[in-house]
Amino acid sequence: MSVLARVFEEHGIATVAIAMVREHAARVKPPRALFVPFFFGFALGNPNDPDHQHCVLRAAFDLLQHSEGPVLADFPDDGAPAIMPQASQVEADAEQATRSAADEVTALRAFYERWVENHGGRTAVGLCGIPQRRFRGVIRFLEVCATGEDAADMDERPAGVSKPQFIRYCVDDLKAFYYEARMEQHKDADEDSLHRWFWGSTAAGKLVADLAATLNESDDPVLKGAAYGLAR
């Protein structure tokens, strides 16, 4: 971010950045940055709140009044989105441990495909490159990874993508698949209920939480780094 901003500035293009981690912005010193006290994924605040989002954008663009930097301003935390529950904050229901993630994927497939159809083909699934109709294989791969088995891998892993990064791609795709299917199945579901359902009721939620715990205990710093943010 800071490097690109400096390149643009050297060519006469003024820049403004929105920073999610204040410490990082303070260290890299972009020309102009607005720190927002929101959690990752909500850089402009709550979704479906255009008035508040416009306030964030106005505060960012106001930094253009400074002809020189670095400038780091703080946006007030009024109206900050509620922090969504992470896996460790959700109590599992009595049936979660008995469910099969592979069977869940099959059962949710029709809802997911209807979601994609109803949204003009748009979906957040696709990072790992494996079609969702073959996600049972992704489940098996992640289940082996969760045991700490170093040999776990998939032939479909793209060349040039490390296994730790591929694990993250698979988890992100799996989460997106579940959430989009659930939103199609329960159109009135809010964000809190979606998170609590995934982490507290699904076998996939338990699998991802177990996988994150296994990676976090690894002596390999790359694998340990891959655990960051998986279970949230």
Q: What is the pLDDT of residues 105-116, one digit of tens each?
A: 999 999 999 999
pLDDT at 224 over 90: no
- Give the rounded percent of residues in the chain with a pLDDT score beyond 70: 96
Decide: 178 and 202 in contact? Cβ < 8 Å. yes
Q: Which tokens hold the place of 86?
A: 């992470």
